[in-house]
Each structure stands twice: as structure tokens, then as C-alpha cells.
A and B are shown apart, each in its own frame.
Chain A
Amino acid sequence: MKSCLAAHLAVAAGFSPNPLSDVGAILSWQFMRSAYEAGTVVAIVSGVVGYFVVLRQTAFAAHALSDMGFPGAAGAALIGVNPVVGMLVFTLAVGAVMGALGERVRGRDTVIGIVLAFALALGYLFSSLYSGNSTEAFALLFGQITGVTSWDVVVTVAASVVALGAIAIMYRPLLFASVDEVVAEARRVPVRLLSVGFMLALALAVSAAVQVIGVLLIFALLVTPAAIAERLTRRPGAAIACGSALAVAFVWLGLAISYYQPYPPSFFIVGLGFATYVAVRVVPGRRTRSGRGLIGRWDALMRSTSPLH
């Protein structure tokens, strides 16, 4: 795919004055259309699931799932199965175990770290057995969205729809259990079941996001947009909508920039998110009690546009 991009670069060396013709040029390529399709769906599901990742403080679990999916994807390729399917099987299995263990996973950083290191090494071994070099591993670790096939798009959309549906069904009790597990349990909310359910939805989101951003950069879609959103609004529904919109914007812009620059899209997607996060961190009065100023206006905007509140 890199050669494909390079060949194209010789033709179009930069943005044209007319943005519409840029969009037309970018989308005239099948691989870019697939990249945009998969990237958009992944961004939406990442924004939704990311809100709960930040709320439940399970960013580490998201990374662990991602790392554990790596040998799954590489192993699947080795035995001739679609890597996305291998990734899904591994992350779902690991997610179910982590969800069932629940609280007992916390504070076991040493053990988890040792297991994750082995998982990464195993994935590396499988990919070098498969291709004889490290290109395959590199694509899985750092993402290769322009290498997404139309079959990958179908699998990604299916996984994302299931994850979004699961979050929609679990929405209120999951919110309750994430904020106050003790009272939720006393009120007969099935907190353990929700823990497993959320980890499975997270596993689906991680598997989808890995294709866009790679195993190692997973936070850029699953944490960064949600972390920015929680600084822009106080409402759960608005934060979810805002996080998804930001993730979509990063993916779209990152892909567009990488079309004209000989650098990987992953870098631009991560970089845009990072720059935005830094920007909202330094906006003064971000934690004002009255919510006046920029953040207050944002909040008012999100209030009027959010579908949930």
C-alpha cells in the first residue's frame, strides 16, 4: 500500500485550493474509501466505549486487551485466517476473563505486565514465522489503515455494531455501576455481569481500533477523545457524542493529511488527538464551578445537541 501512496504522491503533491476536489481525489481510490469507512466506524465506537474506559478508569485494561490481541492476529495470519478474526477471538476471551475477575485484576500490575510482554513477544514470533520479516508485525503494532480490505471493513462494522448495541442496552446500569458499584449492587444492578459485558464490548472496540491505529497506539482512539470530551462537557450523553465526533475528526483529518504527506496516518491521528488534548488542558478556567467562558458555551452547545440529555 505504501507504494500505492508513493505513486499517487507523484501526481498530487499537495492540497488544492478547492477542498471538494481534494475529497474527490482522496475518495477516488478504493483503499482510501475502505480506510475512511473502517476509520469512521472505529472512531464512533471508540468514542462511545472510550467514555466508559475513562469513567471506569480501565485504560490499562484496554491496553492489555490490545496487547493480548496481537498474538491472536499474528497467529491467525500464520494459519491462514483473517487477522481481524484472530484478534477478535483473543480479545473476547481475555476480556471475558478480565471482566469475570473484576476487582481482583486491580493492583496486579506486575503479573499483568509479565503476561503482556510474553503476549507481544509471541505475536512478534508468529508474524516473523508468517512473513519472514517484521512488516506484518509492524502493521499490527502501529496500524495500517490504508491496508484495510473490504472484507476487513465488513468485520469491523459488524464488531462495532455489536459493541454499540451492547453499550446502548447496558447504558444506564453500566453508568450506575461505574460510578457507585456498592449502591448499584444493593439496588440489584448485576454489577459482575455488567463488568463482563463491558469488557466484551471493549474487546470488540479494541479489535476494530487496532486496524486503524495499531496495538501500541490504541489509547489514541480509546482514551484521548473521551479524555478531551470530559473537559468540554459535564453530561454523560454529551461527552459520548463529543468524544465520538472528535475521534471521527482525528481519523478523517489524519487520513487526509497522510494522503499528501509521505508519513503514516497513525502518526497524524495520534498527533491531532494529542495536540487537541494539550490545547484543552491549557484553556484557562476549564474547571470553573459556574462553567462560564469557553467551556460553559461548549456545555450549552452540547446540551442543545445531545440526543441523550
Chain B
Amino acid sequence: MNDPPGKGDPLAPLEPGARGSPDSIVRAIGLAAGYGPTPVWAGANFEVRAGEFVAVLGPNGAGKSTLLRVILGLVTVQAGTIAVLGAPPRRGNPGIGYVPQSRLLDTGAAIRGVDLVGFGLDGGHWGVPIPGPGRRTTRARVAAAIEAVGASAQAGRRLGELSGGERQRLLLAQALVGEPRLLLLDEPLASLDIRNQVVIARLIARIARERSLAVLFVAHDVNPLLPVVDRVLYLARGHVEIGPPEQVVTSATLSRLYGSEVDVVVDRHGHRFVVGLEGEATHPHPDDGSVAQQPAGRPAP
């Protein structure tokens, strides 16, 4: 495990108005957000620094996706301040890579994994791609991003022919291809089998460490993340807290957080395992007009 800056002092109090440390990626002070008149959560104070892998936990409806959407600039804050990469959140920030809950069109349409990854570079550009040196550079960067997630063999297939794990790798490559400094992942493991969950979680942690990326990783099942996580940000009952896994991932804290009996087993190597959250199945987001739950894919080769 790496030892990113900030890990040694996870609960350092933030002085209001103070400038974040130079490697501050996300810094929230007294933040409140939501869609209606009452915020989903309020009074959030936390800071995420470069190279930190932060798991975002909380029961259904606690506002985990809302937090990501605030950072993406898709939801306006109701109170407090937030700085993302040293500036207020804005839509289309190229410093952010984003992988939402899996709800891609599942058709036999003529579109490949490599096209999907390419959207991360020029998906927002008008017009048709023009052949030339620029196009070759784009292709090389796309190929490098696909190589980094180990999906080169699958990238030429149609999206509809990919397994859940293969798809998540390519979506990760799409998020990485623009060389972001912050990675926002909204339940990227939701549709995967257990083996793939661990593989993808480790892959993300390795890439984040190599590139000194800050990662905010929304998850229902914290177990695949526990070996790689630096801190845990948890949302429940309108509050947002952050702390090291030794403090947050305990039977007492999680039971209070989810309002149900949750056990944390610690083995003799100090590895933690959470039992009792199996009922917290992933939830489809009705406003996405789609279903998050998908059949588990074939294990990636």
C-alpha cells in the first residue's frame, strides 16, 4: 500500500477560509446539497488530496451520487463552499474522470469499445474525425489508455458483446484517457461478480497510485475496497464524515450508519471483512431511465 500525503493526518480540522494544501484535489467546507428545498446532506467538511483512494459509503438515498454530481458541477451547492482542483466545480472539467453506474445501451449497435474510450478525448468535439496526425495521436492515446486497463484484446468488440468486467475496464479507460487528476467512480463494481470486483478495485488502485490520482469510489460493498482504501467518506442521516478505515469500518459505526446490524470481522492479519450489508443491493436510479443491475459478466481473461 502506498502512503499518500494526508494519510497520516486524516481528520485534520479545516480552518474556514484557509487555502488548501497544494495537493488538495477536493476541499469542502460546510457544504450542503440536494435537489429539493431541504438538502440531502449538510455541514460536510472534508478534504481529498492527490494520491488518496477514498471509499464513499452510505445507505441507499444518502446522497452518494449527489456528492459526485456536486463535484462534477451538475448539482449546485445549497450552502458552504467546495473547491475542485482549486476552483469552483464546473461542468466538463477536464481534470475529472467519471465512471457512472453502468447503464450503457445494450444493443448490437455498430459501436466498439475503442469508440467508447475515444469519447473521453474527442467525444465533445463537433464534426467528424479528420484523418491526419491529430487523429493518429488521438488513436495512440486511446490505445495507451486501453492498454493501461488491460482491455486491448476486447476493445475491438461491439459494446453489446462485452462482459460486465470488460465494459467497466473500458469505461475506466475512457475516464483515464484525458489524463485527469481526480477519478469519480459511482458503483463501478455494481454489476460484477466477486472475482471481478476485486480485480477491478485493485486495477483502479494501482493506476491511481502510479498516476497520483485522487479517487472517490462510491461502493455498496466495501469488502473489495478494504485492501486498497486510504480513507472512508460516509454519508448517513444528512451528514458527511471522513475517517480512516480503522475508525469507520467497525461494527459500531457501520451499524449506526446503516441503521441495521452490521458486523466487522478483523482477522489476525488485521484484514477487515464486513458482514450484514448483503441486503444493501445496488439500486437502480429511476432518473437515469435505466436499470443498474445487470447479469454478472464472464470473468475477464
Contacts and interface: CB of A to CB of B under 8 A. Distances in A.
B123 A189 contact: yes
A103 interface: yes
Interface residues of B, number: 38
A182 B126 contact: no
B125 interface: yes
A192 interface: no
B281 interface: no
Interface string B166-184: 0000010010000000000
Contacts of A173: 123-126
A231 B108 CA distance: 8
B75 to A, nearest CB: 11
A23 B126 CA distance: 41
A23 B100 CA distance: 55
A170 B107 CA distance: 22
A289 B108 contact: no
B103 A234 contact: no
A239 B109 CA distance: 9
Interface stretch (B155-163, B226-234, B245-253, B254-262): B155-163
Contacts of B158: 234
Give the interface SS of chain B, mostly helix, strand, loop or mixed.
loop
Interface of A: 51, 54-55, 57, 103, 106, 168-173, 175-176, 178-180, 182-189, 229-231, 233-239, 287, 289, 291, 308-309
Given A233-B110, A287-B108, 12 more contacts: A103-B289, A168-B127, A172-B125, A172-B127, A173-B126, A183-B98, A185-B74, A186-B96, A186-B100, A187-B98, A188-B124, A235-B115
Task: Please name the 10 residue pairs, one residue from A and one from B, whose CB atoms are nearest each other, closest first.
Answer: A188-B92, A239-B110, A176-B123, A230-B110, A176-B119, A182-B100, A171-B128, A188-B91, A55-B109, A186-B72
30 contacts: A54-B107, A55-B105, A55-B107, A55-B111, A103-B289, A168-B127, A172-B123, A173-B124, A175-B111, A175-B123, A176-B124, A179-B119, A179-B159, A180-B119, A183-B98, A183-B99, A183-B119, A184-B119, A186-B96, A186-B100, A187-B92, A188-B92, A234-B110, A234-B157, A235-B110, A235-B115, A236-B111, A239-B110, A291-B156, A309-B129
